[in-house]
Amino acid sequence: MKFQTARSVLLALVLVGTIGAAAIGTAESAVQENLDTYRDCPMEGSARSLCTQDQNRLKNRWHAPSDSDINPGVTLDAVLQQGDDSDRWSSDAAAEITGYVASVEVTGAESCNCGSDNDGETDFHSNVVTGPSVHSECSRMVVEFTPRCQHLNNWTFDQVSQEIEHKWVKFRGWMFNDIYHMREALNTRRSNAFKCGGRNGPYTCTGPQNKKLWRRTIWEISFRQMSASSRDRIAEIVFEEDPHKRPAI
């Protein structure tokens, strides 16, 4: 089953803008908030170095990208191509990708979130791969759900994981080059293109716990909009019902 027209899909995303509108509700009123400071944490977080402050501001962007911000060349296949991708994309651009969500994880305390590990104040990682038969951690891209994104859409970890895990999902958001994970990503494990942080490693895909590669690329999407396949979802947003068959794009 193919997507209906791109126009219908984008319209549905604008109208829905949530994970399962009926279950979670809309975030229309919350969009009007100014989240430059969220729970007393500024956009630069608690970082001390100017370099890390700049990184955190990029990661914590909470305004939704416009259509003109989207780089049409960014697809999951293009992002996951092997080779040093330090400068393959731009953090000034946004992207839409479609992929299979292998897992969803809660992260820990980070400077971008002022070192907090409280509920609603840490990122969620959606680990996206090219299909359900792909199991290697070295074959995945990370889509970030930041605390600001969670707040705008009234999302909890349980809601996110139940809605999207083991489903084909279309994500839309800002590109982000997470340089702190250069040596933990397959594509940049031997790169010397450091700007700040990220100097550990290089590791291997089969290394010991916490000392191995766990992603293909340092490039992420800081998520802002999504649609997922489900029988009880809006008809305009339908992916292949067979999870082993990649949706036509």
Average pLDDT of the residues in 44-65? 93
* Cβ neighbours for 117, distance < 8 A, ≥ 6 positions apart: 108, 109
CA 50 – CA 44 distance, rounded (Å) = 9
Q: Is the dihedral of CA 183, 187, 192, 196 positive or negative?
A: negative
pLDDT reading at 138 higher than 60: yes
Quote the percentage of the chain above a pLDDT of 70: 71
Range with top average pLDDT, 4-18, 149-163, 197-211 = 149-163
On whether the pTM is more than 0.75, the answer is: yes
Q: What is the pLDDT of residues 188-237, one digit of tens each?
A: 988 876 666 556 666 777 766 666 889 999 999 998 765 554 433 322 22
- Determine contact, residues 204/212, Cβ cutoff 8 Å: yes
Look at residue 6 in the predicted model and tell me its pLDDT.
40
Q: Which two tokens stand for residue 188?
A: 């940049």
Between the two ends of the chain, the Cα-to-Cα distance in Å is: 11
Per-chain mean pLDDT for the chain: 79
Nearest to 224 by CA among 91, 60, 78: 60
Instruction: Spell out the long-range contacts of 7-15 with Cβ–Cβ below 8 A and sequence spacing 24 or more.
Output: 8/236, 9/170, 9/227, 9/236, 9/237, 10/67, 11/236, 12/227, 12/234, 12/236, 12/237, 13/172, 13/225, 13/226, 13/227, 13/237
Q: For the chain, what's the residue count?
A: 249
Instruction: Spell out the long-range contacts of 235-239 with Cβ–Cβ below 8 A and sequence spacing 24 or more.
Output: 235/4, 236/4, 236/8, 236/9, 236/11, 236/12, 237/9, 237/12, 237/13, 237/16, 237/170, 238/1, 238/3, 238/4, 239/1, 239/3, 239/98, 239/167, 239/168, 239/170
pLDDT reading at 23 higher than 60: no
